[in-house]
């Protein structure tokens, strides 16, 4: 085989490989590059061949100068995205000239999977610690609540103190509601025993009402008379707490939050809607808002809507979020509750079958 034929064969082999190959000389000029290496960087062989290594492969140039022979780099691409490339550089002699051969592999998918695996491990660790953390938080708060009640009772005649205590009590109850929701991560919205869901919603709105008033946000609550339902009151409290808290966060002074709960007469589904005239969400936030740990708030946790979504999904219910920037957000939860009829005007149940 002549030298010419051998060079051709080598080039054909380099093209057939599922790896990027960049050969550069001691002056760090690209002497050979295969199509794959150029494709990884969204370039063509004609653009790259014969150029200074630093021009298109700055990460290899840096590595070479620093004496790094094997590593990974996140490399920016012309279209604004990035690719994670693993590389190894071998030093050799080609036609008696000291040269370097760099092999490149796209490890972006692997990197993404590693990121997801790390997140799962993190979640598992948080999940394991959660009951203890919640217990540690709940107990002292409950003790504070009892102390407030005793104090308020003892100093009944002191109006100023009573008002102060009322504010503290409300904040403690609000914190307890948040904690209660976090403890429900594996619970379902449905139960085998009946609960007064309307009362659960009213309680939460009452506690959050103080915060809304302080921020001059109108909280308008309308709960239609309904029978007890086979739905979990603490799950309902968590839903309302998270949805109304989000709505209040999204609202400026003068805005409005409407909470509606009813048995929809046509379908007999239980329906909860929380609607606000707040900031609304742009499409990219709306698309991700129920993802665990997704938040746009500086001190947000990104847990609220993920918890709502899980509770709703496990309960075979629907969660529907409609939002527009500047107009506000409407969240509707619909839970089929078979054999249930709305109460008549007399407030008495029209028909109530036994557990479905
Ligand atoms: N009513 C709402 N109005 C505007 N944006 C909202 C509303 N509810 C949720 N969001 C958006 O969804 C994100 C996730 O909400 P959530 O899971 O409750 O976490 P957090 O409240 O801790 O940020 C919020 O950070 C916010 O960007
Ligand atoms: Mg929230």
* CATH assignment of the domain containing 145: 3.30.565.10
Per-residue pLDDT of the chain (356 residues; tens, 9 = 90+): 676 677 788 888 888 888 999 999 999 999 999 999 999 999 999 999 999 999 999 999 999 999 999 999 999 999 999 999 999 999 999 888 899 999 999 999 988 898 888 888 887 887 788 888 888 888 899 999 999 999 998 988 998 998 899 999 999 999 998 888 887 767 788 888 899 999 999 999 999 999 999 999 999 999 999 999 999 999 999 999 999 999 999 999 999 999 999 999 888 999 999 999 999 999 999 999 999 889 999 989 898 999 999 999 988 899 999 999 999 999 999 999 865 555 554 444 444 433 33
Residue 342 has a pLDDT of 54
Ligand nearest to the CA of 301: 1
The total of other beta-carbon atoms located within 10 Å of residue 21's CB is 18
* Tokens encoding 227: 């029978």
Of 71, 90, 106, the one marking the end of a domain is 106
Say if 81 falls within a structural domain. yes
User: Going by C-beta distance under 8 Å and a sequence separation of 6 or more, which residues neighbour residue 88?
Assistant: 69, 70, 102, 103
Domain that holds residue 302: 114-336
Chain centre distance of CA 33: 42
Q: Are residues 309 and 244 in the same domain?
A: yes
Domain count for the chain, please give it: 2
Of 75, 106, 137, the one marking the end of a domain is 106
Q: Are residues 129 and 90 in the same domain?
A: no
Q: Are residues 119 and 155 in the same domain?
A: yes
Residue 131 has a pLDDT of 81
CB contact at 8 A, 249 and 297 = yes
Say if 284 falls within a structural domain. yes
Q: Are residues 137 and 90 in the same domain?
A: no
Say if 350 falls within a structural domain. no
Say if 247 falls within a structural domain. yes
CATH number of 11's domain = 3.30.450.20
Q: Are residues 238 and 316 in the same domain?
A: yes
Q: Are residues 217 and 274 in the same domain?
A: yes
Q: Are residues 159 and 297 in the same domain?
A: yes
Say if 183 falls within a structural domain. yes
Q: Are residues 177 and 322 in the same domain?
A: yes
**Which residue's CA is the nearest one to ligand 1's atom 4?**
280
Q: Give the integer Cα–Cα distance in Å for 280 and 253.
A: 15
CB contact at 8 A, 273 and 331 = yes
Residue 116 has a pLDDT of 84
Q: Are residues 69 and 157 in the same domain?
A: no
Say if 346 falls within a structural domain. no
Which residue in the block uniquely carries the two structure tokens 């007890």?
228
Residues flanking ligand 1, CB < 6 Å: 242, 246-247, 250, 276, 278-281, 285, 289, 294-297, 300-306, 329
**Which residue's CA is the nearest one to ligand 1's atom 24?**
295
Q: Give the integer Cα–Cα distance in Å for 251 and 312.
A: 25
Ligand nearest to the CA of 274: 1
Q: Are residues 269 and 300 in the same domain?
A: yes
């Amino acid at each position: 085989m002549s030298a010419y034929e051998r060079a051709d064969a080598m080039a054909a082999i380099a093209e057939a490989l599922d790896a990027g190959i960049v050969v550069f000389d001691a002056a760090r000029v690209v002497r050979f590059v295969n199509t794959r290496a150029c494709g990884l960087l969204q370039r063509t062989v004609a653009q790259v061949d014969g150029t200074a290594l630093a021009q298109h492969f700055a990460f290899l140039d840096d590595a070479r100068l620093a004496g790094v022979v094997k590593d990974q780099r996140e490399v920016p691409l012309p279209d604004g995205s990035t690719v994670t490339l693993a590389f190894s550089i071998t030093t050799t002699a080609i036609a008696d000239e000291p040269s370097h051969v760099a092999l490149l592999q796209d490890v972006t998918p692997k990197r993404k999977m590693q990121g997801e695996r790390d997140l799962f491990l993190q979640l598992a660790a948080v999940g394991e610690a959660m009951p203890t953390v919640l217990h540690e938080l709940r107990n002292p708060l409950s003790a504070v609540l009892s102390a407030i009640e005793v104090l308020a009772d003892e100093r009944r005649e002191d109006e100023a103190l009573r008002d102060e205590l009322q504010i503290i009590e409300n904040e403690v109850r609000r914190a307890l509601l948040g904690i209660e929701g976090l403890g429900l991560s594996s619970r379902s919205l449905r139960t085998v025993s009946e609960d007064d869901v309307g009362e659960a919603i009213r309680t939460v709105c009452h506690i959050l009402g103080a915060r809304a008033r302080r921020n001059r946000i109108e909280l308008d609550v309308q709960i239609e008379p309904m029978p007890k339902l086979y739905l979990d009151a603490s799950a309902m409290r968590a839903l309302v707490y998270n949805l109304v808290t989000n709505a209040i966060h999204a609202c400026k002074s003068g805005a409005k939050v409407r909470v509606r709960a009813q048995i929809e007469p046509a379908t007999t589904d239980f329906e909860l809607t929380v609607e606000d005239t707040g900031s609304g969400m742009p499409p990219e936030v709306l698309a991700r808002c129920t993802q665990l740990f997704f938040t746009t708030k500086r001190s947000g946790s990104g847990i609220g809507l993920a918890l709502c979504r899980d509770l709703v999904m496990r309960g075979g219910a629907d969660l529907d979020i409609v939002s527009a920037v500047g107009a506000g957000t409407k969240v509707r939860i619909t839970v089929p509750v078979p054999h249930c009829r709305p109460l008549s005007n007399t407030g008495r149940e029209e028909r109530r079958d036994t557990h479905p």
